[in-house]
Amino acid sequence: MSSSTKKGPGLAGVIGYFENTQNLIEAMEKVRDAKWASFDAFSPFPVHGMDEAQGLKRSPIPFVTFAAGLTGFCLAFLLQYWTSAVDWPLIVGGKPFNSWPAFVPVMFELTVLFAGLCTVGAMFLFNRLPNITRKAFDPKLTRDRFAIVIEAPILDDEGEPKVAPKKGTREFDESAAADFLKKVGAVDVRTVYHEGWF
């Protein structure tokens, strides 16, 4: 996605529109195989098979969920253990101080709470939300159009790419990208600039 810079219009990439998900998936596989450095797809609804077509790796969110759940679980146990067996031990009905079966409901609840909240937070974080700087460039993409954008690298003041492109990837060239998108079946190919409006 193009980033908003304060410098003024700069090339953000080339966008190609598609009519339906079938064309989008097929074109996306070709874009991925051509090893363009940076590209993205847009559609109004999740498209089945898009992750493989784009070459996306698995999301790290499940690891966050697991770690957060484990944290909640341990914290709940520690809280109850410390209060019941260390800080203020009270003999209740002859039961031992560390009555862990009685601790189970709180451990369950904190596991679920931490896992749930951290999953939502991680989802926002990994999707770079809340987003107030990067503009969307075509409202129809959330309605009834699909698109692939081949992105141009963000340039610094000298005109050199800020982040060096990965080895083995194809360097961005505006006309080459536009021709490539036309070749894979885009019906409408345009150039995108950083302000986000054509």
Q: Among all chains, which residue has been given the structure tokens 């993205």?
A: 40
Binding region for other proteins (CB under 8 A) out of 50-58, 84-92, 99-107, 125-133: 99-107
Token pair belonging to 74: 């341990």
Q: Among all chains, which residue has been given the structure tokens 């610094």?
A: 156
Q: Among all chains, which residue has been given the structure tokens 């692939």?
A: 148
Tally helices (H) and strands (E) across the chain.
5, 4
62 binds other proteins (CB under 8 A): no
Asked whether the CA dihedral 168, 173, 179, 184 is positive or negative, the reply is positive
Task: Note whether 180 and 34 are within 8 A (CB).
Answer: yes
Token pair belonging to 160: 């050199």
Residue 46 CB, nearest distance to other proteins (Å)?
5
Select the residue interacting with other proteins from 45, 88, 130, 132 (CB under 8 A): 45
In terms of CB distance, is 105 or 121 closer to other proteins?
Answer: 105
105 binds other proteins (CB under 8 A): yes
49 binds other proteins (CB under 8 A): yes
Binding region for other proteins (CB under 8 A) out of 42-50, 72-80, 118-126, 152-160: 42-50
Q: Which residues bind other proteins (CB under 8 A)?
A: 20, 22, 44-46, 48-49, 102, 104-105, 108-109, 112
